[in-house]
Amino acid sequence: MNFYIKADRFLLDNKEVNDQYLEVCNGRFGSFVDTVSTGDKVVDWSGYTIAPGLFDTHIHGINGYDVMDGTEDAIKEISKAILRLGVTRFLPTTLTSSKADLDLAIKSVSQAVAQGLPGAQSEGIFLEGPYFTEKHKGAQNPGYFRDPNYTEFQRWQRLSDGAIVKIALAPERAGALEFIQQVSKEGVLASIAHTDADYDCCCAAVDAGARNFVHLFNGMSGLHHREPGVAGAALTDSRAFAELICDGHHVHPAVATLAAQVKGEKLLLITDCMLAGLMPDGNYHLGEFPVVMQDGVARTESGSLAGSTLRLIDGVRNLHQWSKRPLYEIWHRGSLSPAASLGRDMELGSIAIGKLADYVVLDENMTVQATAVEGEIKYQKA
């Protein structure tokens, strides 16, 4: 189906376009034009802004559902819930857990995707763990931590029908550098997380192929002027992407702004959202840990932050306000940068000729009015 979108403003990766018509051809973006013919179909969003669909590459759950539930329904419900938040693509994300629970979660994602997701589309599975170290364990269960095992990973990859596209590990564990080399050759994004590695170890991991640091400043050794640590490696190595949770709790706004200035296009916004997202304050769980959410902040019994309840569009809004940078620039840290981290930026993440027509309709308050996947409106505000 071919049609044109009319809107006051379009957010491109390097500028804004105003008062134009955007062509959509068979689910992909076409060209901008000043006028259309009488017989052309026009979807009129005059008074609104069109932005590319957001891409959450690190999300465990939302609205009472979790990837570790191990059910197709959970994946489908997550897919629907995030659509109304402007997210059109996501990576269902696991937690460190037992082999049986990980097997079940991986199979449930593959089966749900095969059946067809009703909202945002999965671009693959993110295995967060179990190859971590205890000092910066966060809400990961250290009882299951172990050294990287490529044979084990291959079994999970077969179980997923090749859907695992990202895995996080601590690079100081035995065999980690060899493991990073192996999975990187297969196109899997090796990521550094929940680690007490020093700066040199992280640099060696990036040399081996690791190209992402998970939730920057959280679950890692911090930046010190005589020992840059994991955070220092993430900030200074231009080859690697760095994820950021911009809820104002995980990272101070000033530090988030600094990270955005230093990393530029290599910064990507994530939520790390768990099942309490969109839910009221109360008692929940993250994996095997009980979690209490108070004032929208989820913590374990020990007081550690337990993922987040952040909506990705709010992370964009926050960083836009904190950094004072143009909205089109910050928006793409939640759309194009995540796609680029996975090598999917030729298909996703921005409004450009030939890319899949995932887009979000925003009002003047950055409230989502509608969300489309490949040109088809999947959510529209009542």
Q: Residue 122 pairs with which residues in a beta bridge?
A: 90
CATH number at residue 159: 3.20.20.140
Range of the domain at 39: 2-51+350-380
Cα 213 from Cα 44, distance rounded (Å): 41
First to last CA, the chain: 24
Same domain, 17 and 114: no
CATH number at residue 17: 2.30.40.10
pLDDT of residue 327: 98
Same domain, 201 and 320: yes
Please tell me which residue in 272, 281, 295, 314 is annotated as part of the active site. 272
Split into its structural domains, the chain has a count of: 2
Same domain, 234 and 261: yes
pLDDT of residue 382: 87
Helix 229-236 crosses helix 253-263 at what angle (to 10 degrees)?
Answer: 40
Same domain, 318 and 363: no
pLDDT of residue 353: 98
Structure tokens at 185: 């050759």
Q: Residue 269 pairs with which residues in a beta bridge?
A: 244
Same domain, 206 and 193: yes
Structure tokens at 246: 């911009």
Same domain, 29 and 162: no
155-162: which pairs have CB atoms within 8 A and are 24 or more residues apart? 156/102, 156/103, 156/106, 156/127, 157/186, 159/103, 159/106, 159/107, 159/110, 160/106, 160/107, 160/109, 160/110, 160/125, 161/110
String of DSSP letters for 212-229: EESSTTSSB----SS--H
Closest of 251, 233, 216, 228 to residue 337, by C-alpha? 216
Q: Strand ranges (DSSP E) for 104-252?
A: 121-122, 125-131, 164-169, 189-192, 212-213, 241-245
* pLDDT by residue, tens only, the chain of 382 residues: 799 999 999 999 999 999 999 999 999 999 999 999 989 999 999 999 999 999 999 999 999 999 999 999 999 999 999 999 999 999 999 999 999 999 999 999 999 999 999 999 999 999 999 999 999 988 888 899 999 999 999 999 999 999 999 999 999 999 999 999 999 999 999 999 999 999 999 999 999 999 999 999 999 999 999 999 999 999 999 999 999 999 999 999 999 999 999 999 999 999 999 999 999 999 998 888 888 899 889 888 878 888 899 999 999 999 999 999 999 999 999 999 999 999 999 999 999 999 999 999 999 999 999 999 999 999 999 8
Same domain, 104 and 201: yes
Cα 200 from Cα 203, distance rounded (Å): 5
Residue 272 designated active-site: yes
Cα 340 from Cα 322, distance rounded (Å): 24
